[in-house]
Structure 1
Amino acid sequence: MTDATANDWPQIRNVGIDGLLVSFGDRLNEPANRAALAFLDALERDGPEGIEETSTSLVSTYLRFDPIHCDHAKMRAALGKMLKARDWYDADLPSGRRFWRIPTVFGTDLAPQLEEAAEAAGMSAEDAIRSISETRVRVQTIGFAAGQPYLGELPPDWDIPRQTQLTDKVPAGALTVAIRQLVLFSVSTPTGWRHIGQTAFQLFRPESDTPFVLRPGDEVQFDPTTPEKLDAMKADGPEGGAVSETLK
């Protein structure tokens, strides 16, 4: 049994008059995130009748249902039956996910907090770049801003805190780090996460049929590049030099 499955997890809790939250743990870990993504996929493919909306957070799956046709007790019973049907912590991730390679400038004036973050992780700047760029991370959830992914988990050395003071603003495409996670910013905004890399990748494309480019379960690797090459990649369009393939 993993830490994720201990202490009476998963749990089903009420959210308002028409929602339920299925949580697979009380903190982020790979099995709990995997379970939340797999359970969401199962709900969307073959969930109980009456579900009107679904989404995930880092370790939970949310659903909103029509209370006229199904009350909390009936929906809870149906979800409980699904939860007992298999080990969700060891479930396959949903099909149709993509693997993205995103060119990234680490450090320089474009991402000025690399050395500070590396020091907090007990590394040199060069080792920090190697550690981040060689780690294939998963989109664990989308949140905070439109299309903005939280990605992880990074190696334990990267369990560094957020800043105590906000950075006034990071640009769209900024790659930031804290608490064994990366956040790739979809908009320009203040943040308490340290800015270690910069991409030309446009995450939010409101004019597109699929405005959120990255989806929970997708995998990403951030490939080092130079400021000059990144500037040229901006002419490639919203991908900014990024390429992707479908995962089998």
Structure 2
Amino acid sequence: MSLAPTPQVLPAGVDGFLIRFALRPDPQAMAAAQVMARQLETDTPDGAVEVAPALVSVLLRFDPARVDRDDLARSLAARARAIADRAPDAPDALRRWTIPAAFGGEYGPDLADVADRLGLSQQQAIDQLCNTDLHVLTIGFAPGQPYIGLLPEAWNLPRMADLNPRVPAGAVVVAVRQIVMFGAESATGWRQVACSGFRTFVPDRNPPMPLRAGDAIRYRPVTGDEMQSLSSAADGLGGAVLETLE
């Protein structure tokens, strides 16, 4: 059951506030945080210098020389309460990425286990992954690394009991109704279901981190050979296509 968000405005150092809607990644709290982030980006308070959304919270940094800290805290608290009271849906995406990925086999060694846990065939699991309306919930843990969701409730799968010591760059992994795409080889407790040529962080690319919180995501199934070919693209996007939805 989704719980009503309970917003708090918490100090974050001498020049920041954390606007937090819950302690757990509840869907309503996630939506409220996304709405708050969008509002702060489009109607930015005087003195604000950075807005950084997370799963259920938003960090706002400000210039203490340009704004009274207490006044800003009261203003943020009023905004957060108004958002929580109306229990909004997540805001519409402004952009959509379609990302090719190879599922199962050597590219998704945990797909069979995931499908079995869901009571689905592997193809049915792929169909659900590719047909669900997904969004970048936040960027974190590593440069450019997206947390993507939410998958259907049945996908609320726990992390693995044992750590997988290595998944490759481009790995598409799942747990707790979310997807993570790794920009570099990494250890993980999430289950790898696919791999793509999309690199979430390339330092000398412009921009280095192409995904933004709020972006819509769709996966397009491709063969392993096609995925490998797309991985050689100089832009590091692996054949991904970006559409503007405004």
Q: TM-score of the superposition, structure 1-length normalised?
A: 0.89
Distance in structure 2 (CA, Å) of the matches to 1:17 and 1:142: 24
Match of 2:97 among 92, 100, 121: 100
RMSD over aligned CA atoms reads 2.2
Gaps of 5+ in 1: none
Distance in structure 1 (CA, Å) of the matches to 2:61 and 2:113: 42
Distance in structure 1 (CA, Å) of the matches to 2:230 and 2:206: 23
Q: Judging changes above 3 Å, is the alpha-carbon distance between structure 1 residues 54 and 94 closer, same or farther for their aligned structure 2 residues?
A: farther
Name the SS of the counterpart of 2:19 in structure 1.
Answer: strand
Q: Please name the residue that 2:244 is paired with.
A: 246
Letter in 2 for 1:143: G
Match of 2:152 among 144, 155, 158: 155
Deviation at 1:88, TM superposition (A): 6.4
Judge which range, 117-126 or 179-188, deviates more.
117-126
Q: Judging changes above 3 Å, is the alpha-carbon distance between structure 1 residues 44 and 167 closer, same or farther for their aligned structure 2 residues?
A: same
Deviation at 1:85, TM superposition (A): 5.3
Deviation at 1:244, TM superposition (A): 1.8
Q: Judging changes above 3 Å, is the alpha-carbon distance between structure 1 residues 94 and 110 closer, same or farther for their aligned structure 2 residues?
A: closer
Gaps of 5+ in 2: none
Residue 218 (structure 2) pairs with residue 221 (structure 1)? yes
Q: Please name the residue that 1:90 is paired with.
A: 88
Letter in 2 for 1:195: Q
Name the SS of the counterpart of 1:140 in structure 2.
Answer: strand
Judge which range, 133-142 or 44-53, deviates more.
44-53
Letter in 1 for 2:34: L
Distance in structure 1 (CA, Å) of the matches to 2:55 and 2:223: 32
Judge which range, 76-85 or 109-118, deviates more.
76-85
Q: Please name the residue that 1:5 is paired with.
A: 4
Deviation at 1:178, TM superposition (A): 0.4
Letter in 2 for 1:114: L
Deviation at 1:246, TM superposition (A): 0.8
Q: Please name the residue that 1:172 is paired with.
A: 169
Distance in structure 1 (CA, Å) of the matches to 2:66 and 2:243: 41
Residue 220 (structure 2) pairs with residue 204 (structure 1)? no
Deviation at 1:24, TM superposition (A): 2.1
Q: Judging changes above 3 Å, is the alpha-carbon distance between structure 1 residues 20 and 4 closer, same or farther for their aligned structure 2 residues?
A: farther
Residue 53 (structure 2) pairs with residue 56 (structure 1)? yes
Deviation at 1:195, TM superposition (A): 0.6
Letter in 1 for 2:243: E
Distance in structure 1 (CA, Å) of the matches to 2:183 and 2:132: 21
**Structure 1, residues 80-102: CA drift from partner, whole Å, max 9, x if none?**
3333555664267277x211111
Deviation at 1:32, TM superposition (A): 2.5
Residue 38 (structure 2) pairs with residue 41 (structure 1)? yes
Q: Please name the residue that 1:32 is paired with.
A: 29
Judge which range, 137-146 or 51-60, deviates more.
51-60
Distance in structure 2 (CA, Å) of the matches to 1:228 and 1:209: 27
Judge which range, 77-86 or 138-147, deviates more.
77-86
Deviation at 1:167, TM superposition (A): 0.8
Q: Judging changes above 3 Å, is the alpha-carbon distance between structure 1 residues 56 and 108 closer, same or farther for their aligned structure 2 residues?
A: same
Q: Judging changes above 3 Å, is the alpha-carbon distance between structure 1 residues 247 and 88 closer, same or farther for their aligned structure 2 residues?
A: farther
Distance in structure 2 (CA, Å) of the matches to 1:164 and 1:85: 40
**Structure 2 contact 8–20 (Cα < 8 Å) conserved:** yes
Match of 2:14 among 13, 17, 27: 17
Judge which range, 230-239 or 50-59, deviates more.
230-239
Letter in 2 for 1:176: V
Q: TM-score of the superposition, structure 2-length normalised?
A: 0.90
Name the SS of the counterpart of 2:105 in structure 1.
Answer: coil
Give percent identity, aligned residues only: 38
